Structure 1
Amino acid sequence: MELTKGANAALDAGDVEITVSWRATAGSADLGPSLDVCALRLGADGKVREDADLVFFNAPSSPDGSVRHIGRTPDGAGEVVTVDTTRQPADVASIVVTATIDVVTPHLTFGGLAVSARVADLATGAELARFTPPPLGPEKALVVVELYRRGGSWKIRAVGQGYASGLAGLATDYGVDVSADEDVSAPAAPLAPTAPAAPTAAVPAAAAASAADLPSTGDPRVDMRKRLDLRKKTVQAVLTKQGIPGRQARVALALDASGSMRALYRAGTVARVVERVAAVAATMDDDGTLEVWSYATEPVALPPLRVDFLADWIPLYVRMRKATTGQGGADATLARERAARAAGWPIPNWDAIGGQNEEPKVMALILEHYERLPSPPPTLVLVLTDGGLYRDKQIAELLRRTAKLPIFWQFVGIGRARYGILEKLDTLAGRVVDNAGFFAVDDLDAIDDETLYQRILGEFPAWLRAARAAGIPL
């Protein structure tokens, strides 16, 4: 199975062998590139539990022997690590496999290398997955793949995240103690670089209690990661109060990109909504992925948003038909898209979506997507709209038709326009259960995270109970 960046798959073997191979790309002057491959066991917080969780050439085995660094392949162009997932301690949530530039080739970067990973069943040798990370640039370290627990089983994710700061930056990110005088700058962006935000004065620790209050580090990726961590805790607290802690559900988002939304895109409001909703998916979704559609006259499915790539995904995909509605204006938006195409990231045909809002079309596309799944889990679909709805009859029929399915529609109004049928959802007849909710706010930026998540998740638990009582498979 060939995985693309950000994709995941079930790991159909307990004891696996991961081989990371490399070669110099055409035009590279280095004829003998050399990498060091490591494995790091991580807890639920994404950090190593102890220094012994770092397995590499100088510490070739975890204390229990369930993760091992085997060494170079016979051709010298690869290294092998093995992982026995059946023997991992209960507090090991994931294992990442990384590659860094060897000290014998310090001038080298991943821009001069083609890297690939092969995951195989250690007992039979059968290939389970393969991944070729997209081309990189000045990076000195690379997170290749991640093995992680989900619902009592293990899965594998293709990561492909580069670090310009090399092993020191990578190690610091995962909680490994490094010398204070080493370069531990933030991970490099896989796409075109984003200008750093201006540093702000630090705030007292006691005040830094919400995502909005975090002091800037000068690196938008680091700040976004910190905000995400805080927001995940807020989502979990809301779920716990609702009586559904840790409930696994798919999370999807439909973004209104009709002409009347222009000011909200240019102001960054929609981008901030996506960032905040990503925390819901990171907490509730079985693989932490937010599935996203953009819609106006026609809908378009966007590449799924993995929270690992939040800082790059949002500037690239949160826009309308006109490039001027992307972050930084038309020039910055088009430059990002050129860099993304060169790196193998898909770019939608924005011209095709038009300018009117046709909610029934995007709802039908989302429904078609989930109906193709053999046994979909409960699904929370968030539909962001600024109103002006005029397809009341079609929306009502779609809600009636989907009432027998494990899908809950949560509409979020962010304008001051007519919401039509959405304001009458509680009295919509002809449904097995009430499968939709709606709330509207004048200014989403003015609502704190806890209030927003309470409103997003307010009707979901009641729907779960009603759906279960009605015999809807959850």
Structure 2
Amino acid sequence: MHLLKGQKVEVTKGRNLAKLSLYFGWTARTAAMSIDAAGFILSDQNRCERDEDFIFYGNPYDRNGAVSHSLLESGDKEVIQISLSRLPESAAKIAFSVTIHEGEKHGFSMKDAADLYLRLVNAETGEELYRFEYGLDLSKETAIVAGELYRHNGEWKFNAIGSGFDGGLAALCTNFGLEIEETASEAAATVEEVVLSTIDLRKKIVQYTLTKKKLDHVAARVGIVLDITGSMQTLYKNGTVQEVVERILAVACKFDDNGSLDVWVYDNEFSRLPAVTERDIDQYVSNHILNNKSIHKFGRNNEPPVMEDVIRKYTVEEESEIPVFIIFINDGGVVKPIKKVIIEASIQPIFWQFVGIGESDFEVLKHLDTMEGRVVDNANFIHLNDIAAVSDESLYDQLLNEFPQWIKAAAEKRIIRK
């Protein structure tokens, strides 16, 4: 049944319905725009009584195990699943929203989105109960309340709302009684505090990804190797590399007890840099790379020496069976001798996740999966043409896609502890 804006319908009355899934879909007209769905568990005062009642990718589960949020890889974009019997009596309704991430900051609004819909599905049978298509009457708004599930005479009903909000997610949170952190200028906050709050959000997304890939209990040492050849100059100077380091630091914080990310840079020479933590992430690239005169910069590619130094650090200087997860950022021109290094390193507790950025053909890296002569497959390659346009959820999902298989294979070969 297709719903019209403002229509209210029965959900549980006359049905044997215990679990409900709400599937969200949309089309973003530009790849740089990130759209997110969320749910607000509200009291009879129409407000979230606790921060934990705001369910989204950064907080995917409520405290009662009644509501969960998941990202989807094909078809529908996201789903919020509800176990109706687990909802406490204090939950009078659940409001569902769709927002553009930092829409005002980047100049995006709902006119840049199309084909917005919400499907209500019986989670146990797969039967689609209702479909609500909305948003055609919106333009400059950056957030939408798509609809709400609410109690009525002991049953649950759904209200198809489709109303827009200016101010994005922050405006919605305020509307539902959640306190939003003040801006740095309003609260006289330090830059460090602002950066930490961003990393905290990313750590939640990483944790969600680890849970999805069954890596919750895996400990790992994490390092990042950054290409600093001539073709990377623009990405260093426009802040892209700083942003990459910040995003990868969140992975290190969840994998490693000391919450630090080991860092290397290389062109035809290499440098091992001080590890970065949450406390010194701000301006790390400027302070430790761009303004560091001892680092050779913007030369040509030569990967084997820096890879050998990575191996030396983790297998000689700091020998351990705890696995190592290396994220290797490169924008093309990788030399063929890396194959020999990777093959020889396949007996070591190191997994190499290569990330190609830009428009190079990455001929060498594309053949990692078919490389012969290794004890285990210890390397993977993903290509992200514009890494800045890739959402955190997608980035972490792709980065951690093959690591679980390597963990299993390396444990079977006794390269790492089970």
Corresponding position of 2:170: 203
Whether 1:263 aligns to 2:234 is yes
Instruction: Return the alpha-carbon distance in structure 1 between the equivalents of residues 174 and 413 of structure 2.
Output: 46
Count of aligned residue pairs for this structure pair: 242
Deviation for aligned residue 1:354: 5.7
After TM superposition, the score normalised by the length of structure 2 is: 0.55
Shift of the 427–217 alpha-carbon distance from structure 1 to 2, 3 Å rule, reads same
CA deviation profile, 1:267-305 (whole Å, cap 9, x unmatched): 111110001001001111131110000101101000111
Whether 1:370 aligns to 2:314 is yes
Whether 1:303 aligns to 2:247 is no
Deviation for aligned residue 1:314: 3.6
Deviation for aligned residue 1:442: 1.3
Corresponding position of 1:468: 411
Whether 1:386 aligns to 2:331 is yes
Instruction: Return the alpha-carbon distance in structure 2 between the equivalents of residues 250 and 424 of structure 1.
Output: 26
Corresponding position of 1:358: 302
Deviation for aligned residue 1:427: 0.6
Deviation for aligned residue 1:312: 4.5
Shift of the 244–202 alpha-carbon distance from structure 1 to 2, 3 Å rule, reads closer
Instruction: Return the alpha-carbon distance in structure 2 between the equivalents of residues 215 and 442 of structure 1.
Output: 35
Correspondence 1:55-70 to 2 at 5 A: none
Instruction: Return the alpha-carbon distance in structure 2 between the equivalents of residues 267 and 365 of structure 1.
Output: 28
CA deviation profile, 1:49-101 (whole Å, cap 9, x unmatched): xxxxxxxxxxxxxxxxxxxxxxxxxxxxxxxxxxxxxxxxxxxxxxxxxxxxx
Is the partner of 1:294 in helix, strand or coil? strand
Deviation for aligned residue 1:359: 1.2
Deviation for aligned residue 1:369: 1.1
Corresponding position of 1:168: none
Corresponding position of 1:407: 350
Corresponding position of 1:292: 263
Is the partner of 1:419 in helix, strand or coil? coil
The one of 378, 381, 388 aligned to 1:435: 378
Unpaired segments of 5 or more residues in structure 1? 1-199, 320-332, 334-346
Shift of the 205–221 alpha-carbon distance from structure 1 to 2, 3 Å rule, reads farther
Unpaired segments of 5 or more residues in structure 2? 1-166
Correspondence 1:76-225 to 2 at 5 A: 203-204=170-171, 206=173, 216-218=183-185, 219-225=190-196
Shift of the 246–216 alpha-carbon distance from structure 1 to 2, 3 Å rule, reads farther
After TM superposition, the structure 1 stretch with the greater mean CA deviation from structure 2, 456-465 or 216-225, is 216-225
Is the partner of 1:204 in helix, strand or coil? helix
Instruction: Return the alpha-carbon distance in structure 2 between the equivalents of residues 432 and 240 of structure 1.
Output: 28
Contact 2:199 2:250 in 1 (8 A): yes
Is the partner of 1:431 in helix, strand or coil? coil
What percent identity do the matched residue pairs reach?
37
Shift of the 431–201 alpha-carbon distance from structure 1 to 2, 3 Å rule, reads closer
Instruction: Return the alpha-carbon distance in structure 2 between the equivalents of residues 216 and 445 of structure 1.
Output: 23
Whether 1:275 aligns to 2:242 is no
Instruction: Return the alpha-carbon distance in structure 2 between the equivalents of residues 241 and 430 of structure 1.
Output: 31
Shift of the 204–318 alpha-carbon distance from structure 1 to 2, 3 Å rule, reads farther
Is the partner of 1:303 in helix, strand or coil? strand
| One-letter code aligned to 1:217 | A
| Higher relative contact order (Cα pairs below 8 Å, separated by 6+ residues) | 2
| One-letter code aligned to 2:294 | N
After TM superposition, the score normalised by the length of structure 1 is: 0.48
Contact 1:214 1:227 in 2 (8 A): no
Contact 2:226 2:329 in 1 (8 A): yes
Is the partner of 1:203 in helix, strand or coil? helix
Instruction: Return the alpha-carbon distance in structure 2 between the equivalents of residues 314 and 285 of structure 1.
Output: 21
Instruction: Return the alpha-carbon distance in structure 2 between the equivalents of residues 418 and 369 of structure 1.
Output: 31
Corresponding position of 2:202: 231
Shift of the 216–419 alpha-carbon distance from structure 1 to 2, 3 Å rule, reads farther
Corresponding position of 1:22: none
| One-letter code aligned to 2:299 | G
The one of 382, 392, 397 aligned to 1:449: 392
Is the partner of 1:301 in helix, strand or coil? strand
Is the partner of 1:380 in helix, strand or coil? strand
| One-letter code aligned to 1:365 | D
Instruction: Return the alpha-carbon distance in structure 2 between the equivalents of residues 271 and 203 of structure 1.
Output: 25
Deviation for aligned residue 1:418: 3.0
Contact 1:202 1:215 in 2 (8 A): no
Shift of the 447–207 alpha-carbon distance from structure 1 to 2, 3 Å rule, reads farther
Is the partner of 1:232 in helix, strand or coil? helix
| One-letter code aligned to 1:370 | Y
Corresponding position of 2:366: 423
Deviation for aligned residue 1:204: 2.1
Deviation for aligned residue 1:242: 0.5
| One-letter code aligned to 2:243 | R
Corresponding position of 2:341: 398
| One-letter code aligned to 1:203 | A
Is the partner of 2:347 in helix, strand or coil? coil
Correspondence 1:327-366 to 2 at 5 A: 333=291, 347=292, 349-350=294-295, 352-353=296-297, 355-366=299-310
| One-letter code aligned to 2:222 | V
Instruction: Return the alpha-carbon distance in structure 2 between the equivalents of residues 457 and 374 of structure 1.
Output: 23
Shift of the 231–437 alpha-carbon distance from structure 1 to 2, 3 Å rule, reads same
Contact 1:298 1:354 in 2 (8 A): no
Is the partner of 1:381 in helix, strand or coil? strand
| One-letter code aligned to 1:385 | N
